[in-house]
């Protein structure tokens, strides 16, 4: 499960039918301080995450397939939480590092 930031929406006319009607979101994994880390993932979203919001994404395919209601879907990543807050804040962490 990765902390990520929503960075865009994808539109795809030619796609696996199980994605029909689902929002496909580009999620950039980030560190605690918000810096990008690793490869962006494409996830489906059922929580209505806003652009640039921090979310938690999971690669649990079984849960994602249940979400789209198609046990044969190739879906893998799903947004499982919209982050309100990370504690301690970034400043506190930087203090701890010094």
Distance CA 26, CA 10 (A): 7
d(CA 86, CA 64): 25
Query: Under the criterion CB under 8 A, does residue 6 sit at the interface with a copy of itself?
Result: no
| Alpha carbon distance 5, 90 (integer Å) | 16
Site for a copy of itself in 34-53 (CB under 8 A): 37-43, 47-48, 51-52
Q: Contact, 98 vs 44, CB < 8 A?
A: no
Query: Which of 21, 84, 91, 98 is the binder for a copy of itself (CB under 8 A)?
Result: 84
Tell me how far, at minimum, the Cβ of 69 lies from a copy of itself, in Å.
Answer: 13
Q: Which residues bind a copy of itself (CB under 8 A)?
A: 1-3, 7-16, 19, 24, 26, 28-29, 31-32, 37-43, 47-48, 51-52, 56, 58-64, 66, 72-78, 80-88, 93, 96
């Amino acid at each position: 499960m990765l902390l990520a930031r929503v960075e865009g929406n994808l539109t795809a006319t030619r796609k696996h039918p199980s994605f029909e009607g689902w929002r496909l979101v580009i999620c950039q994994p980030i560190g605690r301080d918000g810096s990008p880390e690793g490869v962006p993932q494409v996830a489906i979203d059922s929580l209505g995450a806003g652009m640039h919001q921090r979310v938690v994404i999971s690669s649990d395919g079984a849960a994602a397939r249940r979400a789209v209601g198609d046990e044969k879907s190739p879906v893998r990543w799903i947004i499982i939480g919209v982050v309100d807050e990370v504690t301690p804040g970034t400043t506190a962490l930087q203090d701890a590092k010094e």
